[in-house]
Structure 1
Amino acid sequence: MRIASLILLLTLYSMAHAQNPAFPLKRLSNKRYLADQQNKPFLINAATGWKIYTKLTLEEVGEYFQWRKKQGFNTILTQVCMHEDDINRYQQRPFSDNNDFSKPNDAYFNHIVAVNKMADTMGLLIVMSQPWQGCCLEGWGMTAEKPLQRNGEKKCYGLGKYFGRKFHSLNNLMWIMGGDQDPLGDRACIEAMAKGIFETAPHQYITYHAKPTHSSTDLYQYAPWLGISMIYTYWRDKPNAWVSSYPQMIEVYEMALREYMKTDIIPFFLGEAQYEGFEGNDIGTAYIARRQAYWTVLCGGMGAAYGDDTWYFPPDWREKQKRYPGGNQLKHFYNFFASLEWWKLVPDYKHEVLVKGYGEMTKTNYVTAAISSDSSFFVAYIPFQQSVTVDLTKIKSSMVSANWYDPRTGTYSLIGNYTKPDLFYFTPPTNDDWVLYLSGK
């Protein structure tokens, strides 16, 4: 039964293989984005399935992938392993002899290979972490007694080379170093592991998952192995004790603009932010999930990750995922930008196009906006019902078509066609978040 179901699943998705991205990804000439081997820019629309390797069987992984594909996701974030005592559904541990990195369990990692190959067949990018460093001593790092430092640089380097060889054939794979934390005392071990991966699998991009408000380039701007940057923050007024020991949270758009304006250009995406859910750290809403994604792309990023409180796959993960509206609404985010030459967008952070009504920087009423490099179209994400003023002369056309795009339903409504008065006022139709789309006719 297990083999038959897998064959059916793979057959269904192989029928659509021609539309899948041609992995591996590569850097575009503008250095800000990645594209597939057919030069099609890749917009990351990721779901955080962190514990798929330990919590799900291969059949259940296929079910999960199919569901996320249906929701419009094209990328899955995962962890090789999160906890020192992790064991997968086939009773396999990642290492033997008290987590000795020189003694990886091939059976455990063969399961990961099978999962990632399935993802490739479905056209999914996998962004997979090293053994998770951890924010709060739950992972593999932070103290001398934990496996990262206990194994030392030599074994960490050897494990990196093992990873590079084991997963070398997977063109749909990128790597995450770190995990919810800055390097701290684990720095030498993390860098050695990254070096091992980079030397044996240079076609697989590597990023770094820092603690909130830090990006990969804040820590490793000039590391030869860093190929893409990850930003990570929540929002300024997040009411949660877990982040009380961290620096002041900033809004996603603040961090994205900070990353965009760095002089050394590197592609970046929102790797983690607020998850959708009802308790603990995961107290986000569908609205928060939407705004995080739009903010990132309109501030120069190449996509965003969505999370909910099923990331660790509790017994009711299927039912909970179907209850959360944010996971379904992110397909509208993807479809909107995928219909445009989104990689041409230049953030309007100097307010040269949207000249009034852009809200207040550091507040959630701030309007993020961007215009294409050829001035043919303009996009603004308006988080509340607030009037904005746009200089239509910035769009190179004798006539401008204006539309509202509903990020909840993915529907357009025509505002009107204009013969370009200098300034024009737009007010969203309801007290919700809306996308303003202007294009030349």
Structure 2
Amino acid sequence: MNLKSFLAFLLALLPLSLLYGQQPLPRLQVAANQRFLITENGNPFFWMADTAWELFHRCDREEAAYYLKKRADQGFNVVQAVVLAEIDGLADPNPYGDLPLVNLDPSQPNPAYFAHVDAVLEMAAEFGMYVALLPTWGDKVFTNSWGKGPEVFTVENARSFGAWLGNRYKNESHLIWVLGGDRNPRKGSTDEAIWRAMAQGLTEGMGSESRALMSFHPQPAAPGGSSNWFHQDEWLDFNMHQTGHCANQPTYQKIRHDYRLQPAKPTLDAEPLYEDHPNCFNAKELGYSVPEDIRRIMYWNVFAGAFGQSYGCHAVWQMYTPEREGINGPLRPWKEALDLPMANQVKYLKNLMLSRPFLSRIPAQEMIVDPQEDDEHHVVATRDREGSFAMVYFPTGKVIGVDTRSLRSKTLKATWYDPRTGHQIAGGHISSGPDCRIHPPVSGRDWVLILDTTPPF
């Protein structure tokens, strides 16, 4: 072992907090009502994540810092990234020439590779970003027709690898563990057992006092996502969906399915249609996604009961540059793609949801009076359980009837919120009733109507 590798090995034995001496971010936990996340200080936490799957694999430290600062400035607070990466992550080294495993063996993590992971995790904390950390992409369990694998995990080494990771990062308060990685467990296989073993290992490695939240990232599935296999598992703290990469799919149905399950657990869409992605992987006939497609999905999901929302950009998840072979036709280099419109608009969704009572918010589709199709015009509603406010999302600005009687005053203050800019337009006052006909300010574009109660109640 040369001096560089030996020093990396020694550093790998130390927790990041000792190496850098920074004030840790507060740990996240599930709220008492099992619908939302809060910090350990009791503050509401709206999950606004970016998918940067190849962050550790393809970015050097300078590039990682550039990425993290940009996303933090744009209002993101979570980054979804993978340790054993998707794009030939076991055979293609990181920018420093290091592979994650010795001899493709999960029981032999490479200290030099994990020293780089350490450094990027520390940067994320410094920028106030939580990391939803996938131990491995799913092709290392099940390669299928895409992904290079190889399949290296068994029940035994999945548990030991999880325990190693859990122990290594048990002091890092800004981590959330995510198993799966774009694979659904196969019937008649050991897939479920492998993921459960990895979860058990993580739990053992972290210990009960420092246990981070855990979830599972699936492929698109029905009727739920992670809930299809693991909802009753104690280690699964919240459910994740991947709703796919086609526009105008009724993603809110997946959220509503999970919301009705018992026991109650928070749920969100962790991989929706990416910005600048070929629609349904068919750019020639269907073109690429546009901001309206992405925005519609996000507001649909959150108003249907999700505790937050993930965003993705097709060039950014793969850290595409012209020197690399792109996957599914990325349109521009990742640094340029960081400034696409929706990346600068996601903060308006987060700001809106945190502007009113957070932990008492419930889906309120019963407020929508008119029959609706599951198409791009579908209007969704959410409200405060105590009746202090409601919000209605109009994807295309159509006129619709809204039953406002669940709100606790006879007169309601109306405000129109522009999800593209965060600007608000006064909408006057309306009288509460069973069928208030709501006319958005301009048709053909999306709006959020905010209804606040006014005294006397």
TM-score norm. by structure 2 comes to: 0.83
SS of the residue aligned with 1:438?
A: strand
On the 8 A contact 1:22/1:38 being kept in 2, the answer is: no
Cα RMSD between the aligned structures? Answer: 2.2
Deviation at 1:440, TM superposition (A): 0.8
Does 127-136 or 285-294 show the bigger shift? 127-136
On the 8 A contact 2:160/2:201 being kept in 1, the answer is: yes
Deviation at 1:138, TM superposition (A): 4.3
Deviation at 1:420, TM superposition (A): 3.4
On the 8 A contact 2:25/2:125 being kept in 1, the answer is: no
SS of the residue aligned with 2:48?
A: strand
Structure 1 residue corresponding to 2:368, chosen from 339, 348, 354? 354
Matched, 1:37 2:50: no
TM-score norm. by structure 1 comes to: 0.86
Please name the residue that 1:329 is paired with. Answer: 345
The residue type equivalent to 2:369 in the other structure is V
SS of the residue aligned with 1:365?
A: coil
Please name the residue that 1:123 is paired with. Answer: 128
The residue type equivalent to 2:174 in the other structure is N
The residue type equivalent to 1:291 in the other structure is R
Please name the residue that 1:259 is paired with. Answer: 258
CA distance in 2, matches of 1:160, 1:36: 24
Please name the residue that 2:160 is paired with. Answer: 158
- Seen in structure 2, the aligned counterparts of structure 1 residues 278 and 37 have a Cα distance that, compared at 3 Å, is closer
The residue type equivalent to 1:170 in the other structure is E
The residue type equivalent to 2:115 in the other structure is N
CA distance in 2, matches of 1:177, 1:421: 47
Runs of at least 5 residues in structure 1 that lack an aligned partner in the other structure: 1-13, 240-248
Please name the residue that 1:11 is paired with. Answer: none
CA distance in 2, matches of 1:165, 1:86: 26
Q: Say how many residue pairs are matched.
A: 401
Please name the residue that 1:218 is paired with. Answer: 228
Please name the residue that 2:102 is paired with. Answer: 96
CA distance in 2, matches of 1:275, 1:208: 19
Please name the residue that 1:242 is paired with. Answer: none
Deviation at 1:421, TM superposition (A): 5.0
On the 8 A contact 1:298/1:345 being kept in 2, the answer is: no
SS of the residue aligned with 1:342?
A: coil
Matched, 1:436 2:453: no
Please show how residues 38-437 of structure 1 align to structure 2 within 5 Å: 38-80=41-83, 81-82=85-86, 83=88, 84-97=90-103, 99-134=104-139, 136-139=144-147, 146-148=151-153, 152-184=154-186, 185=189, 186-201=191-206, 202=208, 203-213=211-221, 214-234=224-244, 238=246, 250-279=249-278, 281=281, 283-310=288-315, 311-315=317-321, 316-322=333-339, 324-349=340-365, 351=366, 353-356=367-370, 359-360=372-373, 362-420=374-432, 423-430=435-442, 431-437=444-450
On the 8 A contact 2:177/2:212 being kept in 1, the answer is: yes
CA distance in 1, matches of 2:360, 2:95: 45
On the 8 A contact 2:368/2:380 being kept in 1, the answer is: no
On the 8 A contact 2:369/2:403 being kept in 1, the answer is: yes
Deviations 1:261-304 (A, max 9, x none): 11221111110010011547383221121112111111111111
**Sequence identity (%):** 28
On the 8 A contact 1:131/1:139 being kept in 2, the answer is: no
Deviation at 1:222, TM superposition (A): 1.6
The residue type equivalent to 1:292 in the other structure is I
The residue type equivalent to 2:334 in the other structure is W
- Seen in structure 2, the aligned counterparts of structure 1 residues 170 and 411 have a Cα distance that, compared at 3 Å, is same
The residue type equivalent to 2:45 in the other structure is F
Please name the residue that 2:329 is paired with. Answer: none
